[in-house]
Amino acid sequence: MEEGESRRPEKQRRRCCVILSVAVALIVIIIVAVVLGLNGRQEESEIKSIFFSRCEKNDCKKIWGAFQQAYVNKDPCTVPVEAYDPLLAAAPFKSECGRMMFWSKTKDVVRDFAEKTCFSTLEDTLLGSVLDELTWCGKQGSEDTFTTGCPTRRDCENNPVSSFWRSASAAFADVACGNVTAMLNGSIPTPFSPASIFGSIEVKRFNATRTKSLNVVMVIQKNAVTNCTNVSLKDLQGEMDTKGIIYNCKDVTESQIQECSSQPVESCGTCW
Helix (H) or strand (E) holding 131: helix 126-131
| Residue 236 CB, nearest approach to ligand NAG (Å) | 10
**Least distance in Å: CB of 239 to ligand NAG?**
11
CA separation for the pair 37, 142 (Å, rounded): 9
Rounded CA gap, 222 and 236, in Å? Answer: 25
Shortest spacing between CB 203 and ligand NAG, in angstroms: 12
- List, in sequence order, every residue forming a beta bridge with 257; answer none if it has no partner: none
Q: Which is nearer to ligand NAG, 107 or 116 (CB)?
A: 107
Which residues of this chain interact with ligand NAG, rule CB under 6 A?
Answer: 98, 105-109, 179, 185, 187-190, 207, 209, 212-213, 219, 221, 225-227, 229-232, 246, 248, 251
Q: Which is nearer to ligand NAG, 159 or 230 (CB)?
A: 230
Residue type, 228: C
Closer Cβ to ligand NAG, 66 or 249, answer by number: 249
Considering the complex, state which of residue 59 and residue 108 has its C-beta at the smaller distance from ligand NAG.
108
Gap between the Cα atoms of 236 and 200, Å rounded = 11
CA distances from 57 to 52, 65, 136, 139, 256 (A): 9, 16, 23, 30, 35
Of 80 and 98, which CB lies nearer to ligand NAG in the complex structure?
Answer: 98
Q: At its nearest, how many Å lie between ligand NAG and the CB of residue 240?
A: 11
Q: Which is nearer to ligand NAG, 109 or 161 (CB)?
A: 109
Nearest approach, Cβ of 183 to ligand NAG (angstroms)? 7
Name the minimum Å distance from CB 116 to ligand NAG. 15
Q: Which residue is nearest to ligand NAG (CB)?
A: 232
Phi, then psi, of 32 in degrees rounded to 5: -60, -40
Q: By the 8 A CB rule, do 255 and 218 touch?
A: no
The CA dihedral of 9, 15, 17, 22, to the nearest 10 degrees, is -170
Interatomic CA distance for residues 23 and 46, integer angstroms: 30
